[in-house]
Amino acid sequence: MRGDTTKAPINKFTMLSEVTSQEIGDLKTLEQFIIERQEEHEHSTGSFSRLIRDLSVAAKIVNWHMRRGGINNIFGTTGEINVHGEVQQVMDLLAHKEFVRALRRGGECCLIGSEEHSEAIPIATNGDSDGDYIVLLDPLDGSSNIEVNVSVGTIFSIYRLPAGWGTPTVEAALQPGVKQIGAGYVVYGSSTILVYTTGHGVNGFTLDPSIGEFVLSHPNIRIPDDGKMYSINEGNYNSFEPGLRRYIKWMQTENSEQNLPLSTRYIGSFVADFHRNLLKGGLYMYPSTRNNRNGKLRLMYEANPLAFIAEQAGGGATDGHNRILEITPEKLHQRTPLYIGSKLMLDKAHSFLRGD
């Protein structure tokens, strides 16, 4: 195939050597992509690009740990309970440390908020020009799934330190999601993919292990307006509000004219459930339950970043009533009910929740 100007489509009969030679000429790395897109951002100085690079380097290191986890015997729990009262996995802590280390070394970030740390972490950089960016992250989402080889991920949200703020404190991070200037996630799955947005669409980059680079594999991702799959922990059914219970029953109706019933897909790794629904169409829900009025997921580093991506891809995200990105945060670790995914499915869920 080398030298061919017309490319045959890649299918299951394509020889590996042909795929390799077809693709090598076309690779666009994350770094090349960022440089090309830098002009999209007013007053761009390159510092934001360096921040994304720092995050991608940490993701590669975490990926390396994940791939060797079973061999190095680093799965399992630390024996500690984290700030949310949940059992902390060894990999949770390891991922947290790798992201903090990469952001500290990179020098573009002034404050980190992490699911694995109760307080916001100020980053003192060298010299007199401290970083401008605040990064909020869930270093390893879905970590209770690691031991059984189910996909897990990292979620990140980026804000700018408000002008004239002075010493960065947690209050500087308490901005509504509409103020995010970037957001993304990494899924450590059958392949490792990094998806991010800066408010100019959504693009996905798959880690090519042979060259150690994230390469553009999913340009301009659009979520289908409608989907066949809904994702929810149905074990909690009896503690859902009546409107949601009716919506679930409606999705289970046998009615071929309305393309019902829908299918349930629930991995229990938000980032992996979200990624599937983003590509295939679907709705993920972690609603309010009788005992947890605010659901389970965290606003600042789970709901907001993926809401930004969902909207940029043509979907939506709400707490069942209000747009996630407009919620005024009060605490770094606050929780929110969440409905996120395909637009028409979200509209339908709202109509049941309203009791229409």
Tell me which residues touch Mg ion (CB under 5 A). Answer: 138, 141
Q: Which of 98, 108, 132, 138 binds ligand AHM (CB under 6 A)?
A: 138
- Interaction partner, residue 86 (Mg ion, ligand AHM, none; CB < 5-8 Å by kind): ligand AHM
31 near ligand AHM (CB under 6 A): no
> Kind of pairing, strands 109-114 and 87-89?
unpaired
- Which C-beta is closer to ligand AHM: that of 77 or that of 233? 233
Span from 30-38, 138-146, 317-325, 334-342 in contact with ligand AHM (CB under 6 A): 138-146
Q: Which does 198 bind (CB under 5 to 8 A by kind): ligand AHM, Mg ion, none?
A: none
Two tokens at 92?
């949770």
Who contacts 142 (Cβ-Cβ below 8 Å, separation ≥6)? 150, 151, 152, 153, 267, 268, 269, 270, 271, 272
With H, G, I as helix, E, B as strand and everything else as coil, classify residue 317.
strand
Give min distance, CB of 115 to Mg ion, in A.
6
* Per-residue interface string for the shown chain with ligand AHM, residues 233-272, x marking contact by CB under 6 A: x----------------------------------xxx--
Positions 290 through 319 that interact with ligand AHM (CB under 6 A): 296
CA distances (Å), origin 300, targets 97, 103, 157, 350: 19, 18, 8, 23
CA distance 88 to 81: 6
Contacts (CB under 6 A) with ligand AHM, residues 68-87: 86
Q: Does 116 bind ligand AHM (CB under 6 A)?
A: no
Burial 147-172 (b: 16+ CB within 10 A, else e): eeeebbbbbbbbbbbeeeeeebeeeb
143 binds ligand AHM (CB under 6 A): yes
What Cα–Cα distance (Å) separates residue 297 from each residue in 34, 115, 159, 282, 339? 30, 11, 20, 18, 11
User: What spatial distance separates the first Cα and last Cα of the chain, rounded to whole Å?
Assistant: 58
Question: What type of residue is 330?
Answer: E
Q: Which does 319 bind (CB under 5 to 8 A by kind): ligand AHM, Mg ion, none?
A: none
CB of 90 to Mg ion, least distance (A): 16
Smallest gap from Cβ 116 to ligand AHM, in A, equals: 9
Q: Are 289 and 163 in contact (CB under 8 A)?
A: no
What does the binding site for ligand AHM look like in residue numbers (CB under 6 A)? 86, 115, 138, 141-143, 233, 268-270, 296
